[in-house]
């Protein structure tokens, strides 16, 4: 098989982004540098070919084989994605707090949002959008939460450095969720965050 054929099979077989370093571990005799050159060339070829319904996108530190935006209407009908369970406003706002303040404890999230977030944290953990990253060195040693690579993948970000501005992040997250539900962005209304001072977090590990 040609190198491009192998790459196509590997990308087709996974729904998680693949880095060139990971690909180099799987394909013997090829360096990450050579693989990146081939991957970028293939990415350009897919993007330019109007007869292909697939594209190679760069997300969460790697590359992912995905469908082109023009096929969304047909995929919605096939997969009935309008019925997909999306995140609530409260979950989106909590996720935004975690993304900008991570690592952060549940108590710190509740201090910012002013409400109990136990059930929301559980939901975000189940959806693999956040993870427990350790314990804070304070009395009680509470869990610390941070976003995951799946979070970056879900919202189409290469890293946390691409997060929208603080006053735009909740609506940006909502737009992604509305597209997944089959609605046009903005139909769900504004989802404002409490006006709290955020500190931009370091990149997701």
Name all domains of the chain by residue range, CATH numbers in brackets: 3-79 (1.10.10.10), 84-181 (1.10.10.10)
Q: Which residue has the tokens 């804070």?
A: 136
Given a cut of 50, whether residue 184 has pLDDT beyond it is no
Distances from the Cα of 17 to the Cα of 52, 111, 120, 183, 200, angstroms: 20, 34, 26, 26, 24
The pTM (predicted TM-score) of the whole model is 0.52
pLDDT band at 178 (very low <50, low <70, confident <90, very high): low
How deeply is 29 buried, as exposed, middle or buried, from its count of CB atoms within 10 A (0-12, 13-18, 19+)?
Answer: exposed
For residue 50, the model assigns a pLDDT of 87
Mean pLDDT of 42-50: 89
Predicted confidence at residue 169, as pLDDT, reads 66
The better pLDDT of the pair 190, 142 is held by 142
Q: Give the number of other Cβ atoms within 10 Å of residue 153's Cβ.
A: 21
The share of the chain scoring above pLDDT 90, in percent, equals: 18
Residue 62 forms beta bridges with which residues?
59
Q: Which residues of 50-87 are buried (b: 16+ CB within 10 A; e: fewer)?
A: eeeebbbbebbbbbbbbeeeeeeeeebeeeeeeeeebb
On the question of pLDDT at 87 being above 90, the answer is no
* Of 95-109, 131-145, 167-181, minimum mean pLDDT range: 167-181
Rg value, the chain, Cα: 19
Q: How far apart are CA 25 and CA 143, in angstroms?
A: 33
What mean pLDDT, rounded, does the chain reach?
78
Closest by CA to 21, choosing from 6, 39, 4, 5, is: 39
Compute the distance between CA of residue 120 and CA of residue 106 in angstroms, rounded to an integer. Answer: 10
Task: For residue 105, give the 3-state DSSP assignment.
Answer: strand
Question: At residue 125, does pLDDT exceed 60?
Answer: yes
Query: Worst-scoring range by mean pLDDT, 51-55, 139-143, 145-149, 159-163?
Result: 159-163
Rounded Cα distance between 104 and 145, Å, is: 5
Stretch 146-174: mean pLDDT: 77
């Amino acid at each position: 098989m040609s190198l491009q054929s192998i790459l196509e099979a590997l990308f087709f077989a996974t729904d998680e982004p693949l880095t060139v370093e990971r690909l180099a571990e799987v394909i013997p005799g090829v360096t990450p540098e050579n693989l990146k050159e081939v991957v970028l060339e293939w990415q350009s070829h897919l993007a330019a070919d109007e007869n292909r319904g697939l594209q190679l996108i760069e997300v969460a530190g790697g590359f992912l084989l995905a469908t082109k935006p023009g096929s969304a209407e047909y995929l919605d009908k096939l997969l009935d994605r309008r019925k997909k369970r999306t995140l609530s406003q409260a979950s989106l706002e909590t996720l935004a707090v975690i993304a900008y303040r991570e690592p952060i404890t549940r108590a710190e999230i509740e201090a910012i949002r002013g409400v109990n977030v136990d059930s929301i944290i559980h939901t975000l953990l189940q959806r693999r959008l956040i993870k427990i990253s350790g314990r804070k060195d304070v009395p009680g040693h509470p869990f610390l939460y941070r976003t995951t690579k799946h979070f970056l993948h879900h919202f189409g970000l290469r890293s946390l450095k691409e997060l929208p501005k603080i006053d735009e992040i909740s609506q940006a997250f909502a737009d992604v969720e509305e597209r997944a539900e089959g609605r046009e962005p903005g139909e769900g209304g504004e989802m404002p965050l409490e006006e709290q001072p955020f500190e931009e977090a370091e990149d997701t590990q």
